[in-house]
Amino acid sequence: MSALAITWGAGPASAIAYGEDVPDGDYPFSVRLAMTGLPAAGGGTRDSSCSGALVAPAWVITAGHCFRDEDGTHVSRTVARRTTATVGRTDLDGGGGHEIEVVEVHQADGADVALARLADPVADVEPLRIATAAPRPGERVRLTGYGRTERTGEENAGRLQTGSFTVGAVGETLTEFSGRAPRRDTSACRHDSGGPYFRERSGGPELVAVVSTGPGCPHPGADLGARTDTLRGWITATVNGRSDPLDGLSATLGGLLVLLLVAPPAAYAVLRRQRHARHRS
């Protein structure tokens, strides 16, 4: 297993570049998080957005850096004046689905993952299951997101986008994902942060990671996703109202142990690459 380490301060991800439109009704667990009135550097406010997935009727999983203060510190609270989750709506200009305010945020310790609680539960969308098995090198997974595309320039995609990806190196907290289809340079883009990488199984899809960071899009080669199978206990506890911060800490310590003892050259290479990467929000 390759060791990948998280470096906060790497840049965010956006909508899927060189992806394809999702047919109406597919992947209804996909979520767009719209942040209105974020504090801006130098005063004033700005708007932004992230992607995510419904993992329980009232809970959305996304990237931890989607909730950060002016200093870039991940925080367990909403930061914008208003954060709204759009759930179960393939076309953002269409009808159907739900628009619900986010009222609570929990950050995972040592991983670029957060859980956002909705003001009201969603009863008509089946949540995305959390995988119990780690992603495997060479495995094929799918990504959905509402970020920018190669066609939209500075504007986000108005319709949910998707693409197929291949798993590369798998670390304790991070995993590499490279574009496979519709093109080899299909890649996560700005505002795809938190978008779900998931297996498609006969028994239903299951989440393996969320978009964390990567180079500018579009590009061939890997983006980094934050693993979720290692956080299954923390996710379950948080959703059930008994979050234990030691769950996330144990994953962090395990990752550091691998970083220091198992494959330091590979880990350091990833650290260098991440300094030039950008978050996807």
Alpha-carbon gap, residue 100 to 32, rounded angstroms? 11
Six-digit token string for 195: 């978008």
3-state secondary structure of 239: helix
> How would residue 18 be classed by pLDDT, with cut points 50, 70 and 90?
confident
Whole-number pLDDT of residue 7? 39
Reply yes or no on whether the pLDDT at 149 is more than 90: no
Angle at 49 between CA 111 and CA 244, to 5 degrees: 30
Decide: 30 and 144 in contact? Cβ < 8 Å.
yes
CA atoms within 13 A on the CB side of 278: 15
Higher pLDDT, 189 or 90: 90
Higher pLDDT: 221 or 165? It is 165
Q: What's the one-letter identity of residue 125?
A: V
SS3 label, residue 48? strand
CA–CA gap between residue 253 and residue 133 (Å, rounded)? 20
Q: Tell me the three-class secondary structure of 174-234, residue by residue.
A: EEEEEEEECCCCCECCECCCCCEEEECCCCCCEEEEEEEEECCCCCCCEEEEEECHHHHHH
| Helical ranges in 129-281 per DSSP H | 232-239, 245-261, 264-275
**3-state class of 270 per DSSP?**
helix
User: How far is it, in rounded angstroms, from Cα 198 to Cα 205?
Assistant: 6
User: What's residue 183's pLDDT?
Assistant: 87
pLDDT, averaged across the chain: 82
Structure-token match 């969320």, residue found? 210
Q: Measure the CA dihedral 154/159/163/167, to 10°.
A: 70
Q: What is the pLDDT of residue 214?
A: 85
- Burial status of residue 132 (CB atoms within 10 A of its CB: 0-12, 13-18, 19 or more): exposed
Separation of alpha carbons 278 and 266, rounded Å: 20
pLDDT tens-digit readout, 205-263: 999 999 999 888 888 889 999 999 999 999 999 999 975 444 444 333 333 323 222 33
88 neighbors 128 (Cβ within 8 angstroms): no
Taking only the tens place, the pLDDT of each residue in 82-140 is: 999 999 999 998 888 999 999 999 999 999 999 999 999 999 999 999 999 999 999 99
**Domains of the chain by start residue, with CATH:** 28-125 (2.40.10.10)
